[in-house]
Amino acid sequence: MDYETLKTDVADGIATVTISRPQALNALNSRFFQEMDALIAEIAHRDDVRVLIITGDGKAFVAGADIAEMVSMTQDQAREFSKRGQKTFRSLELLDRPVIAAVNGFALGGGCELALACDIRIASAKAKFGQPEVNLGVIPGYAGTQRLPRLIGLGNALYFLLTGEMIGAEEAQRLGLVQKVVEPDQLLPTAVAMAKTIASKGPKAVKLAKQVARRGLLADFDAGCALESETFGTLLEKEGAEGMRAFLEKRPPKWDN
């Protein structure tokens, strides 16, 4: 599929996707969601992609949803626009490959929500994060009110949701919103190096580690532990056996896709 809002590149098991509407600071519109849905479905069926990196074109990661598209929406249209974004970001969250957000600039509103739906967030030292929707008299619509408290705690999340304050990359890292902060020119090299490290590991183990952690987060502790044990046993008999033999034989493991 040819994309209007996305630039894609696949190399060495890593798909890099750049959101490219720089004239609108990469604001999210209906076309973006259509294309991102198609991209997620494509990656889910590609054996040559083990890690996905998402970044932005220009000075923004994503500066928010497209206000010009939203301003004249009816209540019903706005509800559906919210549900559309929630569906896309949930699909990204449930993708069986790790997703790294390489946040190059403004990640505000829907852009922050997109970053929250990724598994790991690396930020440029110039990146800015925030949920400023209350400034416009609305609230986040792409599950920001649900993911943010789960990630940084209710008090911190409500502070940002209620004040609309924008924070820098170092503060975002302190709160646990971001895992790593690097200089702007090192953002993509760092993301790619991290993706290569992940791609070198047992592919089934990587997929299932993400799945078990995310499912366990929404389950009670004992149910999560039961899922972990079941998955551990399944892997140990198959991919894990190769990994352990390779360790004992002091050789690189030979993973199956």
Residue 114 sits in a domain whose CATH number is: 3.90.226.10
Residue 173 structure tokens: 């890292």
Residues 60 and 133 in one domain: yes
| Residues 103 and 15 occupy one common structural domain | yes
The predicted structure's pLDDT at residue 237: 86
CA dihedral 20, 141, 162, 128 (to 10 degrees): -10
Span 74-95, pLDDT tens digits: 999 999 999 999 999 999 999 9
Residue 256 reports pLDDT greater than 90: no
Tokens of 21: 């509407």
Say what the pLDDT of residue 1 is.
61
Residues 169 and 231 in one domain: no
Tell whether the model's pLDDT for residue 2 goes beyond 80. Answer: no
Domain hosting 51: range is 6-199
Query: pLDDT of 164-211, one tens digit each?
Result: 999 999 999 999 999 999 999 999 999 999 999 999 999 999 999 999
Q: What is the pTM of this model?
A: 0.95
pLDDT-above-70 percentage for the chain: 99
Q: 19: which 2 tokens?
A: 């959101």
Same domain, 44 and 146: yes
| 118, 221: one domain | no
170 lies in the same domain as 208: no
The predicted-structure confidence for 94-136, as pLDDT tens digits, reads as follows 999 999 999 999 999 999 999 999 999 999 999 999 999 999 9
**215 and 193 in a common domain:** no
- Banded pLDDT at 257 (limits 50, 70, 90): low
**Catalytic residue of the set 35, 42, 93, 133:** 133
Q: Do 151 and 97 share a structural domain?
A: yes
Q: Is residue 238 very low, low, confident or very high in pLDDT (cuts 50, 70, 90)?
A: confident
Q: Number of folded domains in the chain?
A: 2
Confidence of residue 163 (pLDDT cuts 50, 70, 90): very high
Reply yes or no on whether 133 is catalytic.
yes
Tell me the pLDDT tens digit for each residue of 207-217: 999 999 999 99
- Among candidate residues 83, 86, 115, 123, the one with its CA nearest the CA of residue 99: 115
228 shares a domain with 113: no
- Average pLDDT of the chain is 95
C-alpha to C-alpha distance for 101 and 176, rounded to whole angstroms: 14
Residue 90 structure tokens: 């949930």
State the catalytic residue, choosing from 113, 183, 230, 242: 113
73 vs 257, residue with greater confidence? 73
Query: Are 138 and 213 in a shared domain?
Result: no
Is 256 within the bounds of a domain? no
Token pair in block for residue 3: 């994309």
Distance CA 53, CA 41 (A): 15
